[in-house]
Amino acid sequence: MAAQITVNGDRFVEMISERRIKTAVKRLAKEIDRNYRGRIPVFIGILNGSFIFLADLVREVKVDCEIDFLKLSSYGDAKISSGNVRLLKDLNCQVEGRDIIIVEDIVDTGLSIEYIRHLIEPQNPRSLKVVTLLFKTDSVKPGTQVDYIGFRIPSDFVIGYGLDNAQRERNLKAIYRLHAKPPREKAGA
């Protein structure tokens, strides 16, 4: 049976184990190494959620690289996206002529990626690609382009490995999904 944890009265079930995450990170790093041979890409981590994935990914990648961060917020402390992306910290690096790789922990609606593309494309990067550990196939806006995907997942609320539950639980080593409560039994049934 999958491991379970209880957080503030909500039950969460392990969805992706630490071992499976490690295997996926190694696979993604190999793909990136193959595609960026002889280049020096700039990995841009989208804070806060991507910090653990980014740290693990860049330590698996063998190509020389640079690292920068953008800080966005679309969820606040809620369990669903507000649909309103805000820029909380801009880039420090020069984008023009560089190979940019956006690093996300999760693509849910795809609105953050759309926002990032509108921010970065006018700065004329040599290339712009997106890597995400998790990709929510059912909720993502059609046409959202993501180049490297760790896991395709359904529309569950997920926490751990960087993903938060009202800012907490980012430090869990595995990824957990909120356990759906069974429908209440009818009184007297």
The one catalytic residue among 108, 138, 147, 156: 108
Task: Output 83 or 188, the one with its CB closest to ligand PRP.
Answer: 83
Strands (E), the chain: 4-7, 10-16, 42-47, 66-73, 86-89, 99-107, 127-136, 148-153, 158-159, 175-178
Report the distance separating Cα 153 and Cα 170, nearest Å. 18
C-beta closer to ligand PRP: residue 63 or 178:
178
- Contacts of residue 9, defined as CB under 8 A and 6 or more positions apart, other chains included, come to none
Q: How far is the CB of 40 from ligand PRP (least distance, A)?
A: 25
Which residues make up the interface to ligand PRP (CB under 6 A)? 46, 48-49, 72-75, 81, 104-112, 164
Q: Which is nearer to ligand PRP, 33 or 138 (CB)?
A: 138
Q: Does the annotation count 108 as an active-site position?
A: yes
Minimum CB distance to ligand PRP, residue 60 (Å): 20
Positions marked active-site: 108
